Structure 1
Amino acid sequence: MEKKTDELFHPSLAAALMKLDPEDGEQIMEYLKTHALLTREKALLQASVRDQKKLLVENGKLKKDIEQLRAQLSEKQRRRTAKTLLAPAPPPTQRSPAHGTPVNQTPSPAGATAAVPTEPPPPSSSSLNQRERQSRRRRGERKARPTSDSLSLGAEPRLDVSRLDLRVGRILSVRRHPLAEALSVQEVDVGEGAPRTVVSKLGGGANLEELQGGIVVLLCNVKACKLRGVVSQARLLRCAASDDRTELLTPPTSSAPGDRVTFLNYPGDPDRELPSKQKVWELLQPDLQVDCRGVANYKGCGFEVKGKGLCRAPSLTNCTIR
């Protein structure tokens, strides 16, 4: 350090100070050296701070670019998957009927190796009718194929949570099922002209009076089915740590009956009615979870009522949604 500070001052300066003030010249020189060192360290520190700020700005830009590229990649993968799912099946190969031309098998007088076709006989009425029927059949198949393709396009365009019609509902009344002690019957307002009847298994220890007036999340595009004589028109979503520890999934407090529950990473309109043969609910249910913070999610994407918040379990964490 002394060598570096000595470089900052000319020897004549030290000699002049000692000549002017023999007693304090050495202390003044030390003070000047210390001050010069501090000034230099301050300049180095400011330069490093500027470099650090530049690095932070560049890191922010790089992170933003990475997020944009990641979003573009996921969008391309989603489109490629959708294109693969929506691609029409190749048309079946049809064997056309053999309309061979009769060939004279006798060798030509000149000894030519190629067979010489004879004049075809006039087509009979039966062969004409057969050809017309075959052409009509082929034309009919060509016309019917786009219809079947369009039906297949509308039947199963994708398999993710956006196919579920999840809505907020308010329980207007609740009672025990007349024929099953373990079941209960709710009348739920989901923002339609009339409430929906829902039959659900809430457990024998559930206090039904406390449920009345509460807001819940319902799956509304399941096929209506009769459970022990009562038709159920929707499914009440529950959080379940076990068969005995269950509670209803709760939407944000400011939600209103009829509000859609959506998923940021899975846009799209839900099915009008889930096809029972495809078992969409059964295939998606393993990915419907409540995380360690009590937030309901599908593959890490939260159940969201747009502009109002996320759906949660009242007290359970790390459990499934049924």
Structure 2
Amino acid sequence: MNNADNLFPPSLAAALMKLDPEDGEQIVEYLKTHALLTREKALLQASVRDQKKLLVENGKLKKDIEQLRGQLQEKQRRRTVRALHSPPTLGPAPTTPVSQPVPRNPPPPSTCDQRERQSRRRRGERKAPPTPDSLPLGVEPPVDVSQLDLRVGRILSVRRHPLAEALSVQEVDVGEDAPRKVVSKLGGKADLEELQGSLAVLLCNVKACKMRGVISQARLLCCSTTGDIAEPLVPPTGSTPGDRVTFLNHPGGPDRQLQSKQRVWERLQPDLQVDARGVANYKGCRFEVKGKGLCRAPSLTNCIIR
């Protein structure tokens, strides 16, 4: 029995054949065909209704997705505005990395880095906490004198700069495996021979730079008047190369390297002075080598440190 037989029962077909033996068969076939067409039309209409229903549901889902996307973008914008206007926080930065992929096999530390860490451990120094990367526009990060890596050094040799009469070149032992080369401006009248073998105070975490063709790896701290007179600061008696110069009111650890864009030295240097007693200080807090004494100027008083 086919689909037409299901829609048109045989008993009804037999009754039509009795009523009209000649045309009854054609009438039955016509009715069967009409029934099939009616059923297909009903199925097609149901399919169209289902499609319309799906289109409506898809439109609603698309609208919900657009609303959620707009809400997420608004939340992200608010977080960005809050981060830009929040005040900088002191202390260690968060240890959880943000959008920085962690390499599976990080490269091993270089020999220079290992020696630097060992040297820091011997001196009992701490690595300075990182400063926030994102600050409001026009606001400089705070600086502290403890960011300066000031050490006692012994001048092993000293000579005039070959290209500049006012500059001198020193080889200085600062407690590392090899001495550092330092280019300094001591003035044309300085007696360089007296400096050889003496102790001095050096800023060791400045970026190495070339001065008239000679690379300088540290900065020799000198006290200076407005004239052409400059004297290297003198550490306390009993100091040894590598001893750290600290400040009682500023116990933090030095930066690995001073960042030029933060202008740490340029912002701290105006407050580095020698007082009336010849003692070097920062805003009244004295340069000190713990357990050994204070750093002083050889003869100058009430002058700047550069």
Q: TM-score normalised to the size of structure 1? A: 0.55
What do the CA deviations read for 1:76-118 (whole angstroms, capped 9, x no partner)?
Answer: xxxxxxxxxxxxxxxxxxxxxxxxxxxxxxxxxxxxxxxxxx8
1:235, CA displacement in angstroms?
A: 0.3
Query: Which residue pairs with 2:155 in the alignment?
Result: 171
- Once the two structures are superposed, the pairs formed by residues 140-219 of structure 1 within 5 Å of their partners are 147=97, 152-153=131-132, 158-219=142-203
The match for 1:285 is: 269
Query: CA shift at 1:224, angstroms?
Result: 0.6
Supply the AA of the counterpart residue of 1:299. K
Could you tell me how far 1:243 is from its partner in structure 2? 3.3
Pairwise mapping of residues 1-322 of structure 1 onto structure 2 (< 5 A)?
121=59, 123=61, 147=97, 152-153=131-132, 158-322=142-306
Aligned letter for 1:191? G
User: Highest CA radius of gyration, 1 or 2?
Assistant: 2
- Count of aligned residue pairs for this structure pair: 202
Tell me by how many angstroms 1:206 deviates: 1.0
Pairwise CA distance, 1:288: 0.6
Q: Percent identity?
A: 71
SS across alignment from 1:183: strand
Counterpart of 1:121 in structure 2: which amino acid?
G
- Structure 2 distance, partners of 1:186, 1:168, is 14
How much has 1:302 moved relative to structure 2?
0.6
TM-score by structure 2 length?
Answer: 0.58
Q: How far apart, CA to CA, are the structure 2 residues paired with 1:243 and 1:257?
A: 30
The one-character-per-residue Cα deviations of 1:165-210 (angstroms, maximum 9, x if unpaired) are: 0000000011111111111100000000000000011111111111
- Alpha-carbon separation, structure 2, partners of 1:314 and 1:277: 34
Kindly provide the CA deviation profile for residues 247-277 of structure 1, in whole angstroms up to 9, marking residues without a partner as x.
Answer: 1100012100000000000111011101101
State the Cα deviation string for residues 131-161 of structure 1 (Å, max 9, x = none): 89x979x99xx9xx97469964389874121
2:245 touches 2:288 (CA, 8 Å); kept in 1? yes
Cα gap change, 1:314 to 1:151, in 2 (>3 Å): closer
User: Which amino acid in the other structure matches residue 59 of structure 2?
Assistant: P
Structure 1 residue matching 2:281: 3-state secondary structure: strand
CA separation of 1:277 and 1:208: change in aligned 2, threshold 3 A: same
User: In the superposition, relative to structure 1, how do residues 271 and 281 fare at CA in structure 2: closer, same or farther (>3 Å)?
Assistant: same
Structure 1 unaligned blocks of 5 or more: 1-117
Query: Over aligned residue pairs, what C-alpha RMSD do you find?
Result: 3.4
Any idea what SS the aligned residue of 2:273 has?
A: strand
* More relative contact order, 1 or 2 (CA 8 Å, 6+ apart): 2
Provide closer, same or farther for how the CA distance between residues 152 and 159 of structure 1 changes in structure 2, counting only shifts above 3 A.
closer
In structure 2, the residue matched to 1:12 is none
State the distance in 1 between where 2:301 and 2:234 align: 13
Q: Kindly provide the CA deviation profile for residues 226-262 of structure 1, in whole angstroms up to 9, marking residues without a partner as x.
A: 0111110000000011231211100012100000000
